[in-house]
Chain A
């Protein structure tokens, strides 16, 4: 059957659609042809797939071919059922007939003959030519058609349909189509069944010796092709998949050795998308196919179907795995394949696949996440292609152009060298090329990175190419390696050179790097057999170059490898392709990393701007996730770009980032050079001073321990720890630190500035900053800012008391621990008067002020004292200050103060101090900073009023306010006298005594016993040493005494607030004529000479001046004077006013009543007022106008005879206005002194006024 292969191929290539045969019995085809062919391709066809499930196929292509057409006629009727797929799927029999007889005799037998072959699907189209107006013809045609139906249609199946040429029935074409479809479906089912049966039969023979893969292949592919023609691509694909699986099984069984293939010219170019690459007949071998070609053929068929199914993603994904697995297969046969065939094939395969899938892909074809997958696959393909391309380039000596980056190293150093059977030899006439390559090698210098960073470059080769190449040469061993190395610059191979130098000829294999593929170096066996000179590196390059030119047939690839420039173009192309596609996929990291590779090329070509942008992306990627090792590789490149671009801000920030990387990643020298760059730039002229974030480099924290606590309004100094990540000392020209209030961010940001330059040592530094007064609240550290030269830097990061961990990249956690607490305003000190009772007025007295600091030091406090009116400070005397033990304090406090006292006598002694007042200010001594102290100030309250006594007749108390004096105190304290406490103290001053008098008795002889009651007003013991009374005019002491009481009375001791009485006997002065000359004395004066013994802590005490030390017993008595008013008794009334009784009926509101007073002269109106008054007396009636209405003259003169006993009645009409007890109107005599009037009743009295009588006129009508 394999012989049919060629035929099969031609047949397959020549047909690509279904065929429908037309049996044109009555020469009708030319008439109906257009109508029929207009139906093609079938818009919607319903076919059965392999599992006999209906599948709808769109746009099914087909062709009508007449049975007499040569294409059908040429075939043998008994054609191989193998090629059944190309046979007609339906037969349309076109007939017409206008006569029943003709039908019976001619047409029917003919038709019977045509349709006798049961294998075929047929149906009859009866074409009626009858004109619709021609009834006769139409009827006849109908009759014939009816006959036809009877003959050929069955109940099971309608096989006839009728086409009226002149007016086709509306549903004819649909009918026709469905009939065709039915036929095609049936035919297909039958054929599929046939193929399946055949395939099953063959499959059963799989493990028999007769098994022939070619036969199986033809059957299987025929079936696949059948499906493909019917647009059942899914089924076709499944067939191919099964076929591939089956093939791989046979390949892997390796019953007999077969050629692999791939040795033909052009085989290096992948043909995985081109099924027509090679005719199958060429690759057939031993009843099967060569693997190299056949697998590609399989894949190309599958991909073709997949593209038809609009699944470029699947092509890419299958393609990628195919390339990988095929590459493995190529590796297995590498020894028989041309040099580097595998790499070249992969490159071309990837590029083909990329181009094909990308061209078939339309945007929006796939769901977004699937689309990402697609781009990822493209990225993978590009990436794979790129790696292989780099490998080829390396082999021909372009390795120096390849960036030794981690990504390149990762892909190349783990990729084994090609393993040809024999490494290509140097062509004979290549000495000039070798020389050129030598030159390139010699010119290569290790590129020193910016900042003088020297790194061992990463390997790009799995093992030393020199050794590998020489080892693979048939005649050479590795024994002579050592001498070979002398011929090449060591630096050209960074990582390899170390190993090679270390390697002594005696121990070659062990020291070789083991990171990559396993290999055994040459055995000692052929050590001696070396005859050939080992190849030098340049020679290897040239040899590889030549071998590759031999291998590669693709002109583009050849061109790309022809020169370094071309290489770079292609390299960039592939890298960009990979990066772009990765960027569109999920694999951002891959994309960004490749951007870095593009940047390297851009940089090399001076496209610094682009390079910087890409490097920035790479750096951001690595920095964002904390891959510091990788970052350290890229960041210097970025910095270099920025420096070239004069991007000072960027450059500085890169330097800072470099400095803040893990210390182990750079040597101290390198780090120092970073720092010197920063400092150099900072102090150079920068056009625009740039802000710089040094959060990762300079971190800060508060000192451990509790936060600094301050009272409201107090300044302080804050000590913070600053960690410097600079390798050397660094001078900060200024530094400031913000504080943030924890409760309110926008309000509480305050900056603390240091006033002087600060030098930060590497590592921990403690810095103290002045803290101005802050608002109450708790504060955390905010931002550290400062200046180095023209550079303003900021740091946001906080260290937790340790150097910032370098991997702390994401954790900029705000410290929750407050560094400063400013308390809400509270009482810090209290000033209070120390005395509880009154002091002596007009005497210098100590007034005590208790100063009680409340958990706050009064260091340097100053007290301003301002006395109010009537009070002055005795400035001549010192002010005393002493510590104060409050008895009312809690026992604990007492104990504490006791301890304080016991601490040392010195301290106790210190607790008393004499101070002077300067401009009303007192400065506090240091010992009083934290203890309660008392300040004694000598003051004197001045009152120029004489104390007045009170009598029982005129009771009169002195108002407390009279003795009140104020002292305004203002205490300035706190660190910078910022705290002020003001208080006005009221101090009560009083006379020592209060005096009251009363007449104790009135003797018959006119002697009056005047009792003087002395009340102590102070809380001190008073001792009266002497007392005398200076009497006023009109009074004299009896017995002409000096006014002192009995001598035995004094000294009289009066306890606080107690009373004592002194009796004076006085009498009225009878004749006062001789005293005319003397100044009139209106008041009597009580004089008391007294002493006082009191405690100043309680109240009144000895006056200050008096207290001065003097000989014991010599006392300085005080004098107290008090005025007394003595009233002469009323002795000579000469007028009597009597209120006459009211009418018995009582008073009523609204009733007029006549008030009557009788004025009577009690004695003769004598000498004194003769001239003025004769007999006229002036009266006046006073009444409360609310209560009374007065009719008549309120005021007037009445004449009363001057004779004793003369009387007159004054009557006034009044009307009471209110009911109740009211004061009646009073009659007064303004001209006469009260003392001369005797009244009856003597004092005020009340009368009763009744309510008005009820009156009907007040009745309110109902």
Chain B
């Protein structure tokens, strides 16, 4: 079975500030994933600011593949409140449907997390429940298609 692996998920606020960033690598290299997520905001910005260039109008939340690099893929998702979800995966063979599905579940988890009355909008998400839920979603990523 090919390695279907998400190495990093991130929630980025509407001012491009990181709200939640979690890497799923064992090595202590989260910083490079921070970098990847941060730089991918360039692409998100570009798509948001030049909707006509990217072809498809931005009428859906899923931004699709942001980076066509050789070794990893970065997918983006933009909520109505301009919160961005970024996923970095080393799986070079991902189906869009899987990613869409992943983002949908991730979005639901995020909505639940920020609906917490004790959460301050625009602040980092510190909820442990959210982290656990994200971890579950990440683990189950691609299982449906693999199975």
Residue numbers of A with Cβ under 8 A of B are 321, 324, 327-328, 369-370, 373, 376, 406-407, 409-411, 413-416, 456, 458-459, 495, 498-499, 513-518, 586-590, 593, 622, 625-627, 629-630, 633, 805, 807-811
Contacts and interface: CB of A to CB of B under 8 A. Distances in A.
A327 B45 CA distance: 28
A627 B34 contact: yes
The 6 closest A-B pairs by CB, nearest first: A406-B35, A626-B17, A515-B25, A410-B32, A587-B42, A409-B32
B124 to A, nearest CB: 5
B129 interface: no
B108 interface: no
Contact of A629 (B30, B36, B53): B30
A698 B56 CA distance: 48
A633 B29 CA distance: 12
A586 B50 contact: yes
Contact of B34 (A456, A588, A629): A629
Given A324-B70, A515-B7, A593 B35 contact: yes
Contacts of B68: 321, 324
27 contacts: A328-B70, A370-B53, A406-B31, A406-B34, A406-B35, A409-B29, A414-B72, A416-B71, A458-B29, A495-B27, A499-B27, A513-B27, A515-B27, A515-B29, A586-B45, A586-B49, A587-B39, A587-B43, A589-B38, A589-B42, A622-B38, A629-B30, A630-B31, A630-B34, A630-B38, A633-B31, A807-B18
A495 B45 CA distance: 33
Contact of B39 (A321, A495, A589, A809): A589
Contacts of B29: 409, 413, 458-459, 495, 515
B57 interface: no
Nearest to B67: A380
A440 to B, nearest CB: 24
Contacts of B46: 376, 586-587
A622 to B, nearest CB: 8
Given A517-B90, A587-B46, A593-B39, 10 more contacts: A369-B53, A406-B32, A409-B32, A414-B71, A416-B71, A518-B2, A586-B46, A590-B39, A810-B15, A811-B122
Contacts of B16: 625
Given A514-B26, A625-B15, A590 B32 contact: no
A407 B38 CA distance: 10
A414 B8 CA distance: 13
Nearest to A321: B68
A807 B70 CA distance: 33
Given A589-B38, A625-B16, A805-B123, A409 B70 contact: no
Nearest to A624: B16
A808 B13 CA distance: 12
A410 B17 contact: no
B18 A518 contact: no
Nearest to A586: B46
B80 to A, nearest CB: 21
Contacts of B31: 406, 409, 458, 629-630, 633
A328 B26 CA distance: 27
B71 to A, nearest CB: 4
Nearest to B2: A518
Given A324-B70, A415-B70, A495 B42 contact: no
Sort chain B's interface into a size bin: 35 or more
B41 interface: yes
A805 B125 CA distance: 12
Contacts of A328: 70
Nearest to B24: A515
B22 to A, nearest CB: 12
B132 interface: no
B32 A518 contact: no
Contacts of B43: 587
Nearest to B16: A625
B41 A589 contact: yes
A1131 B11 CA distance: 125
A807 B35 contact: no
B35 A407 contact: yes
Contacts of B90: 414, 515-517
B70 A410 contact: no
B33 A410 contact: yes
Given A625-B17, A630-B35, A590 B42 contact: yes
A327 B70 contact: yes
Contacts of B70: 324, 327-328, 415
A805 B126 CA distance: 12
Identify the interface centre among B18, B29, B46: most chain A CB within 10 Å of its CB: B29
Contacts of B35: 406-407, 409-410, 593, 630
Contacts of A459: 27, 29
A514 B3 CA distance: 10
Contacts of B122: 811
A586 B17 contact: no
Identify the interface centre among A328, A411, A627: most chain B CB within 10 Å of its CB: A627
A976 to B, nearest CB: 43
Interface string B91-117: 000000000000000000000000000
B99 to A, nearest CB: 18
A415 to B, nearest CB: 5
A720 to B, nearest CB: 23
A588 B124 contact: no
Contacts of B38: 589, 593, 622, 625, 627, 630
A622 B45 CA distance: 16
A370 B28 CA distance: 39
B83 to A, nearest CB: 14
Contacts of A321: 68
A285 B91 CA distance: 35
Contacts of A622: 38
A807 B32 contact: no
B96 to A, nearest CB: 18
Contacts of A588: 42
Contacts of B25: 513-515
Nearest to B12: A625
Contacts of A517: 90
Identify the interface centre among B16, B34, B122: most chain A CB within 10 Å of its CB: B34
B15 A513 contact: no
B17 A809 contact: yes
Contacts of A414: 71-72, 90
